[in-house]
A and B are shown apart, each in its own frame.
Chain A
Amino acid sequence: AQTVTQSQPEMSVQEAETVTLSCTYDTSESDYYLFWYKQPPSRQMILVIRQEAYKQQNATENRFSVNFQKAAKSFSLKISDSQLGDAAMYFCAYRPIIQGAQKLVFGQGTRLTINP
């Protein structure tokens, strides 16, 4: 079974600093997507960044970037220049690229606190 593990239940960082959230996953598939979602206190899940497993280049979206290590099955999220609005639950998620596979498998989440 495919699983996603986030080993850091909580993280905190000073405003303007950089923080890295960890995620590992287990799968026997070779092609898949990986995602980081942000869930602010208002509860709506927002897609932060996406990585296709067949791409070696790490995805980047403004202050958000990932370190994708396919062999190690690791997918960490780096947030640079942290802002107060980055405070939220962050979920790592996985989806295989195979016919009929539509569900996302989520990790347990990491609560990120930004200290002013």
Chain B
Amino acid sequence: DTGVSQNPRHKITKRGQNVTFRCDPISEHNRLYWYRQTLGQGPEFLTYFQNEAQLEKSRLLSDRFSAERPKGSFSTLEIQRTEQGDSAMYLCASSLVVHEGGYTFGSGTRLTVV
């Protein structure tokens, strides 16, 4: 197992464009999480899935953001009509339901909106 994989590692886009990020969790992990981290800050929770069900969404996840996990495996995070304020590192993590405690994080996707 190669851990949590995120693609792409970096994305530069023009304001107003749509972008999509992908996360492949550890194969036996049934929970998947998305976090956003801006420079010099700690990660902020966006949403999480248990299998294919999206169980919680943060108020940070505006209507321009949508996340899916169609078959309970990989997940995608799409941002429509990107704004400069969307520039951040988007982190994905996964865990087992019964695992007490920490997640396994991916290396993140750094988004720059110009």
**Closest B residue, CB atoms, query A6:** B42
Please determine whether B102 and A35 come into contact, CB atoms closer than 8 angstroms.
Answer: yes
Binds B, one of A14-22, A65-73, A101-109: A101-109
Number of A-B contacts (CB under 8 A): 57
Q: Which residues on the A side are within 8 Å of B101 (C-beta)?
A: 33, 35, 47, 50, 95
Please determine whether A37 and B102 come into contact, CB atoms closer than 8 angstroms.
Answer: yes
Please determine whether B48 and A44 come into contact, CB atoms closer than 8 angstroms.
Answer: no
Binds A, one of B66-74, B76-84, B105-113: B105-113
CB distance from B59 to the nearest CB of A (A): 12
Judged by a CB distance under 8 angstroms, whether B31 is at the interface is yes
**Closest B residue, CB atoms, query A101:** B56
Please determine whether A109 and B103 come into contact, CB atoms closer than 8 angstroms.
Answer: no
Judged by a CB distance under 8 angstroms, whether B40 is at the interface is yes
Please determine whether A106 and B56 come into contact, CB atoms closer than 8 angstroms.
Answer: no
Please determine whether A108 and B48 come into contact, CB atoms closer than 8 angstroms.
Answer: no
Judged by a CB distance under 8 angstroms, whether B41 is at the interface is yes
CB distance from A8 to the nearest CB of B (A): 13
Q: Which residues on the A side are within 8 Å of B102 (C-beta)?
A: 35, 37, 47, 50
Q: Which residues on the B side are within 8 Å of A43 (C-beta)?
A: 89, 107-108
**Chain A interface mostly:** strand
Q: Which residues on the A side are within 8 Å of B41 (C-beta)?
A: 108-109
Judged by a CB distance under 8 angstroms, whether A25 is at the interface is no
Judged by a CB distance under 8 angstroms, whether A28 is at the interface is no
Contact with A along B20-32 (1 / 0, CB 8 A): 0000000000010
Partner among A45, A93, A100 whose Cβ is within 8 Å of the Cβ of B91: A45
Q: Which residues on the B side are within 8 Å of A108 (C-beta)?
A: 40-42
Please determine whether B42 and A107 come into contact, CB atoms closer than 8 angstroms.
Answer: yes
Please determine whether A106 and B48 come into contact, CB atoms closer than 8 angstroms.
Answer: no
Q: Which residues on the B side are within 8 Å of A95 (C-beta)?
A: 101
Please determine whether B48 and A103 come into contact, CB atoms closer than 8 angstroms.
Answer: yes
**Closest A residue, CB atoms, query B44:** A106
Please determine whether B108 and A44 come into contact, CB atoms closer than 8 angstroms.
Answer: yes
- 11 chain-A/chain-B pairs, Cβ below 8 angstroms: A35-B101, A43-B89, A44-B105, A50-B101, A91-B42, A91-B43, A100-B55, A103-B33, A103-B48, A106-B42, A109-B40
